Amino acid sequence: MTITERQSYRLAIVGGGPAGLSLARMLADTDGLEVTVFERESMLGGKSYSLYDYARPIELGTSYTAMGHRIAKKWMKELGITLRQNGESRYDGKPFIDYVKDGSGKSFALQMLHFMWSRRRLLRKLSKNPDDDAALAEAALPVEAWLKARGLRKIERFMHRILTTMGYGVLDEVSTIQALRWIDVDLLLSGQFNQIHAPEQGWTEFWKRVADGLTVETDAAVSAIKRDETGVTLTVNDEARAFDGVVCAAPFDQFFDVVEPNEAEAWLNDSFDWTGYASALVAVEKWFEGFQIDGYSEAARPGSPKGKMLGARYEADAPELGGRLFITGQIPGDYSEAELQEILEDEIKDRGGENPNVIMLRKWIYFAQWRPEAIRGGLLTRMDRMQGQDSTWYTGALFSFESISHIMDFNARLAPRIIEAVKR
Ligand SMILES: Cc1cc2nc3c(=O)[nH]c(=O)nc-3n(C[C@H](O)[C@H](O)[C@H](O)COP(=O)(O)OP(=O)(O)OC[C@H]3O[C@@H](n4cnc5c(N)ncnc54)[C@H](O)[C@@H]3O)c2cc1C
| C-alpha 402 to ligand 1 mean position (Å) | 8
Q: Assign 345 to helix, strand or coil.
A: helix
Confidence class for position 192, pLDDT limits 50, 70, 90: confident
Section 401-412 average pLDDT: 98
Confidence class for position 4, pLDDT limits 50, 70, 90: low
Could you read off the pLDDT of 356-383 as tens digits, one per residue?
Answer: 999 999 999 999 999 999 999 999 999 9
Q: Over 70: is that where the pLDDT of 293 sits?
A: yes
Could you read off the pLDDT of 87-104 as tens digits, one per residue?
Answer: 999 999 999 999 999 999
In contact, 205 and 50? CB cutoff 8 Å: yes
Query: The dihedral of CA 95, 97, 98, 99: what is its sign?
Result: positive
Q: Which domains does the chain possess?
A: 3-47+201-273+379-423 (3.50.50.60), 89-192 (1.10.405), 275-364 (3.30.70.1990)
Give DSSP secondary structure letters for 260-295: ---HHHHHHHTSEEE--EEEEEEEESB---SSSEEE
CA distance 81 to 78: 8
| C-alpha 39 to ligand 1 mean position (Å) | 12
- Write the DSSP symbol of residue 194: T
Could you read off the pLDDT of 200-215 as tens digits, one per residue?
Answer: 999 999 999 999 999 9
Q: What is the pLDDT of residue 36?
A: 98
pTM over 0.85: yes
Q: What is the pLDDT of residue 3?
A: 61
In contact, 402 and 62? CB cutoff 8 Å: no
Q: Over 80: is that where the pLDDT of 134 sits?
A: yes
Section 330-344 average pLDDT: 97
Q: Over 90: is that where the pLDDT of 408 sits?
A: yes
Q: How large is the C-alpha radius of gyration of the chain? A: 22
343 lines ligand 1 (CB under 6 A): no
User: For ligand 1, atom 23, which residue shows the shortest CA distance?
Assistant: 18
282 lines ligand 1 (CB under 6 A): no
38 lines ligand 1 (CB under 6 A): yes
Q: Over 90: is that where the pLDDT of 421 sits?
A: yes
Q: Over 90: is that where the pLDDT of 177 sits?
A: yes
30 lines ligand 1 (CB under 6 A): no
